[in-house]
Amino acid sequence: RKVAHDVRGPIAGIIGVVDLLRDNIESGNQADTDGLLRLIENSGEGVLELAESILSEDKATDEDFNCRILAEKNQQLYAPQALSKDIKLVVEHSDDPERPQYFAPKSLLQITGNLVNNAIKFTPEGGKVSVHCTIERNDDDDYLRVAVEDNGVGMSAERIDEILQGQAESKVG
C-alpha cells in the first residue's frame, strides 16, 4: 500500500499553512501566528499518527475509535488543507453518550480521508466542505455513517455508477 496517497493532502495543507504564516510574518501581521503554528503542529501529529496506523502491522482493537474521535482526526488532518484554500471545513459527530459505539480505525480513517481530501481538492476557494459521522440504528444492528458534502464540481451519475460498481480507473483527478 502506498502511504504517499493517504498523506499527500494533509501534508500539502501543512505546506499551505506555512505559506500563510510566511505571508503574515512578511506583512508584519503577527495576530494569527500562534494559531497557525498550533494548526501546523496538530496536523503534523495527525499525519504522523495516520502514517503509523497505515504502516503498523498490529491489529487495532474495536475500542480504538468512535464517531467523536473519527471527527477529531479528520478535523486535525484536513483543517490546514481547507484553510490554505480558504474553504470552510465543518466536521461534526453524533455519538450517543449512553451507548457509545467503537470500531477499528485503520481502513476507515483512510477511506474518509480520501473523501475529505477530494472534497477539498475539488471545491473552489471560499467553498464549504461538511463531514458528519453518526451511528445509525436499524433493528438490532448499528451502522456507522459518514457523510461528506461539498459545493465543488461534483461527478456525473455515470461516474458515480462506475465507482460503485468497481469499474472506475484507479486514477482520479
Distance CA 100, CA 134 (A): 11
How many CA atoms are closer than 13 Å to the CA of 51, on its beta-carbon side? 14
Burial zone of 43 (CB within 10 Å; 0-12 exposed, 13-18 middle, 19+ buried):
buried
Report, as an integer, the average pLDDT of 36-41. Answer: 84
Cell numbers at residue 115, please? 473523501
pLDDT range class, residue 166, cuts 50, 70, 90: low
Render pLDDT for 68-123 as a digit per residue (tens, 0 to 9): 888 988 998 899 989 889 999 999 998 776 766 777 766 787 788 888 988 998 99
The pTM score is 0.70
Instruction: Please give the pLDDT value at position 113.
Output: 84
